[in-house]
Structure 1
Amino acid sequence: MVRTLLVRGLLLGLLAGLIAGGFAFAFGEPGVDSAIALEEAHAAQEAPGHDHGEEALVGRPGQKAGLFLATGLYGLAVGGIFALVYAGLRGRVGPRSDGGLALAAAGTAFVAVILVPFVKYPANPPAVGDPETINSRTLLYVVTILVGLAATAIAVATARRVTAGPWARWGAAVAAFLVPVIAAWTLLPAVNEVPEGFPATLLWEFRLASLGTQLVFWAAFGALFGWACDRAARRAVTAVSPG
């Protein structure tokens, strides 16, 4: 069963990654082009006559093609990990139906791994961010992911302990999730390296496209994985039914 789920997760993760890549290509790449143009214009003002286009190891057409490779590989990796986690959760927590569990797990993963760090440290386009701080910014982002995962585990454990009813259970779980998350948002240092004069509209559109790409991936993957699990469950029931 675990092997079947792993193969399913890998294949559907790849498909969802390509779907997300299509969204990123349509809605995110125009913003990247605009940000790169701003960066090159700013560099040209600082060093007139220097051809900054020669510094790029991979041109924009290659980068755009590589976008689908990146999102596909991301989908493969996430799909495999998700399938293993799903195998451990199945029959132990969450909805009883396989499809419902897949959707709930995908939605929870999006909130814990994507939304929690995004709220504190949203994505920035090219020309935004100091290269010298990339290690510290990466570390802070990883910390927020760990906080989101820990908060999810605390929320699940809290929900399993509350027996007063569904509303009390959900309320306790949400509170248990939000307390460590809000504490982390408050205590972790802010990172604001947006240069003065950078277009606010371009920044906002890029961040929305970045978050939207992740939302499309997790929605597509959760729906596909859930559909495949429900379909497999129905086939299993049909196979063992008499007649």
Structure 2
Amino acid sequence: MNSISVRALLVRGMLAGLIAGAVAALVAYVLGEGPVDAAIAFEESHSHEHGGEELVSRAVQSTAGLATALLLFGVAVGGVAALAHATALGRIGSFGPRATAALISLGGLLTVYVVPYLKYPPNPPAVGDPETIGRRTALYFLMVVLSVLLGVAAVILGKRLAPRLGKENATVAAAAAFVGVVALAYAFLPSFDEVPKGFPAAVVWDFRLATLAIHVTLWTVFGLTFSHLAGRLHTGPTPARRDHSRASVAQPGPSAD
């Protein structure tokens, strides 16, 4: 693929990410703000410090701030996924541009979010010890990097096993290896249970479900949009049309007597 095609694919990926971020922001506002408000109310009712002035108002945080964060995240996801698409197309099997875009979106959702989420699920405000926030953040990003690298390794493993085991068996073997190594990471990496006493369990559950819905929405909308845009970018004239065009050019016109 030449640089012009990569540039065009990158633009389409970022556009798809922008659209996905906008839809995810709407889902975040509808589903996520209720649990966040409930968590903030609990925190304020149990805090001994009152009267502090917010640098950014809650109204701005829940609207413009939320939308800006998800739009930027969507654009970043789109750019990285577009580059991954340019690299993977034709190298992970006989998948076309649309199928490749869909597989990258599904793989991104699983490796970038779902696998780290299951080990270190997000917490609403007032949940978590401030003294461990640095360690928790570092371990979460370690889990993201590890998950992505294991996902790439699983694809390479499946491709190398395919000639000996067949595509289906190789895919199953690579997926099993991925799950097995992730399970070991889950077992050896430390966990955290820092929900304060008396904090409503329903608020934690609703918040975590909302964040999961936000990311599933973002990656799904991105996958659908990007697969369509990438497919249109790579679509050229079909062989039948090319043959018809060549025949039309080669056909002699009526001769003049």
TM-score bin (small chain):
over 0.9
Identity of aligned residues (%): 42
Moved more, 145-154 or 109-118: 145-154
CA shift in 2, pair 1:106/1:94, >3 Å: farther
Residues 1:134 and 2:140 aligned together: no
Shift of 1:232: 2.5
Q: Write the deviation string for residues 165-203 of structure 1: whole angstroms up to 9, x where unpaired.
A: 233112101112112111100000011111111111110
User: Aligned residue for 1:10?
Assistant: 14
TM-score of the aligned structures, taking structure 2 as reference length: 0.87
Which residue number in structure 2 is paired with residue 96 of structure 1? Answer: 95
Instruction: Note if contact 1:17-1:73 (Cα within 8 Å) is conserved in structure 2.
Output: yes
Q: Distance in 2 between matches of 1:178 and 1:155?
A: 10
Question: Offset at 1:76?
Answer: 1.1
How many angstroms does 1:59 deviate by? Answer: 1.2
**Which residue does the alignment assign to 1:202?**
203
Does the residue aligned with 2:196 lie in a helix, a strand or coil?
A: coil
The question of 1:31 aligning with 2:29 is answered no
Structure 2 counterparts to residues 1-243 of structure 1, below 5 A? 1-43=5-47, 46=48, 50-51=50-51, 54-65=52-63, 66-162=65-161, 163=163, 164-234=165-235, 236-237=236-237, 241=242, 242-243=244-245
Alpha-carbon separation, structure 2, partners of 1:73 and 1:94: 32
What displacement does 1:95 show? Answer: 4.8
- Contact 2:14–2:76 at 8 Å: present in 1 too? yes
Deviation at residue 154 of structure 1 after TM alignment: 2.0
Give the distance between the partners of 2:140 and 2:37, measured in 1 at CA: 25
In the alignment, is the contact (CA less than 8 A) between 1:13 and 1:221 conserved in 2? yes
Q: Which amino acid aligns with 1:58?
A: V
Note the aligned Cα RMSD (angstroms): 1.6
Pairwise CA distance, 1:231: 2.2
Q: C-alpha offsets along residues 74-110 of structure 1, whole Å, 9 cap, x if unaligned?
A: 1111111111111111111145211111111110111
Larger Rg: 2
Contact 2:89–2:96 (8 Å) recurs in 1: no
Determine the structure 1 residue equivalent to 2:248: none
| TM-score, scaled to structure 1 | 0.92
- CA displacement at 1:233 relative to structure 2: 2.8
The answer on whether the counterparts of 1:114 and 1:214 sit within 8 Å (CA) in structure 2 is yes
Task: Give structure 2 stretches of 5+ with no counterpart.
Answer: 246-257
- Answer whether contact 1:130 1:193 (CA < 8 A) is retained: yes
What stretches of structure 1 of length at least 5 have no aligned partner? none
Range that drifts further, 223-232 or 17-26: 223-232
